[in-house]
Amino acid sequence: MKYEQLAKDIIANVGGKENVSSVGHCVTRLRFKLKDESKAKTEVLKNMDGVVTVMKSGGQYQVVIGNHVPDVHAAVLTVGNLGVASENTDSSSDEKMGLGAKFIDMISGVFHPILGVLAVTGMIKGLAALILALGWVEATSGTYQLLNLAGDGLFNFLPIFLGYTAMKKFGGTPFIGMAIAAALVHPTLATLTTGEVSKVLFQGTIFESPIHITFFGIPVIMMSYASSVIPIILSSFVASKVEKGFKKFIPAVVKTFLVPFCTIVIMVPLTFLVIGPISTWAGSLLGAATVWIYELSPLVAGLILGGFWQVFVIFGLHWGLVPIAMNNLTALGNDPVLATTVMVCFAQIGAVLAIMLKTKNKTLKSLSVPAFISGIFGVTEPAIYGVTLPLKKPFIMSCIGGGVGGAIIGVTAGKLWMFGGMGVFVIPAFIKPGSGLDMSFWGSIIAMVAGFAVAFVLTYLFGGINKEQSSKATNETTTASKEAAATKVQNEEVVSPLNGEVKALSEIEDAAFSTGALGQGVAIEPSEGKLLAPISGTVSALFPTNHAIGITTDLGAEILIHIGMDTVQLEGKYFTAHTAQGEYVEKGQLLIEFDIEQIKKAGKPVTTPVVVTNHMDFSLELTKQKQVNTGDPLFKLL
């Protein structure tokens, strides 16, 4: 119970155990499904020792912990007595999720439980391919055969594992899903395709299917479902509904065996007759379509996917590519899409190494060491949330490095031949089983080195790592610089960026602003959806959803403007930015336009705090006006 207190604090600040519908974890994050996310104290959690940050994505409330998340998860389950709740994935909060969020939640719920062991078996298969390519063993040797069996076993019988996780996710009995999947990969199926062909369906089309057997006179289209993904997921979804239907009217005294009997006896034939063939054809078309789009320009595809992969991870959008990659491995034997992203972790640690070597901040340097080590093995959350993202520019440099690496993999026709591990462990996944070390393999090595080098050099030279130590007046002494700055600050005035009613921060419902934890200043209830620059300075932060912006003045004051409360959940809808991070803006310049009515219709308040986050360095004189127009004095920095 090393993490007992941390677990208690996390449970308390997500709204208590009664607010938890389920909780799982991935490599670095606790993944909560909360009944009411508004009860969670996000800013308190973010500032807790032991918590890296908090993310909301795909209907999940994600508390980023780090590499020791399995231990923290175990402590959370024990302390909160959440064993039953953690198994309950059928949450009422699903009804509040959008279609995209539901899809991401479904994909992560189905694939996440097996990704760890799937990666491990992929690593074993990659090891077998590597020692074969290096000539250390023969393909007929027992050593190679056993290693290949260990690596191939799970993938070959993947439908059985997905039958369990999918049924569990859809609220059915997991072992029913496994039973249906076991029928799909039964060894006898191979013999059923060798008999006499009675007829041919869809002759002359891409769906041409010889018929060997019938079910009560209905033709059965026989296919291979080994390693398949889509058929069992769709079958499990339908099976969960069928099972719930039978549970409603079958008497309790015979429900234990009669419900599974009825469900399986209906679903197995239905899967072979309808769901299996249609989903297999759909999977083949999906695989062909993704590869066609990719091959329009592998360089551009690699550049985009590699460059934005870390952004996808932050928002949980990377789950959308997982089923595509799994389907491609099944339908095509390889996947070129996800291949462009797997070396991005090396760009991230390239930026971290530059920070580690250059920073004068001892705390940042100490954080960089474990983040770098984790990144080598593909776990980049500590590096992203703890090091590069807070510094902003290094994160951008790492994205550039990731784009370069992805483009190189695209140009060299890199492909994943198995679902391998992460970081250095993914390298053997680029080796085609039974083949030598071709350009696909060497391209991945070049991409790894290039991405690392680009991110390292750009961060070291342009990452602004020790910007806080630099002075604009390099020829003046430190004392003289401070005195000059103080003189200028006395005359620095922040004007209203909006037309509207002035309110005290204490009137805001969000505790992070109302308590002054995020800074001192005022709030404005806007009457017009135009946000102008309240002062001249550099845009130091512009959130991807354009709902919040930070400006650093020439003399170091850090102004944060947050349009509305919880508007990050709108994912950028109704917000249009007219500037970009890193740009210098003049007082009165248009920064962001937003649709007040649509934001309100979405149930979000538009009350906008304007605060100085480093207020401890200044004294503020706030306006006494109740109504302001853009350009009116809001407060003075002394």
Residue tagged active-site, from 25, 318, 547, 562: 562
Order the strands of the 548-553 sheet from edge to edge.
584-585, 537-542, 548-553, 558-562, 608-612, 520-526, 500-503, 627-628
Whole-angstrom distance, CA of residue 605 vs CA of residue 501: 14
Whole-angstrom distance, CA of residue 373 vs CA of residue 18: 37
Whole-angstrom distance, CA of residue 61 vs CA of residue 215: 47
Whole-angstrom distance, CA of residue 586 vs CA of residue 575: 21
- Burial degree of 186 (CB within 10 A; 0-12, 13-18, 19+): exposed
Encoding tokens for residue 113? 């439980």
- 26 in active site: yes
Angle of CA points 35, 37, 39, to nearest 5°: 95
Q: Look at residue 315 and give its three-state secondary structure.
A: coil
Q: Under 8 Å CB-to-CB from 403, ≥6 apart: which residues?
A: 302, 303, 304, 306, 307, 308
Residue 602 to residues 39, 176, 569, Cα–Cα distance (Å): 19, 40, 10
Whole-angstrom distance, CA of residue 326 vs CA of residue 110: 12
Q: Under 8 Å CB-to-CB from 234, ≥6 apart: which residues?
A: 275, 279
Encoding tokens for residue 65? 């912990």
Residue tagged active-site, from 26, 318, 345, 547: 26
Q: Identify any residues that bridge with 95 across adjacent strands, giving them in sequence order.
A: none
- 262 in active site: no
Q: Which residues are catalytic?
A: 26, 562
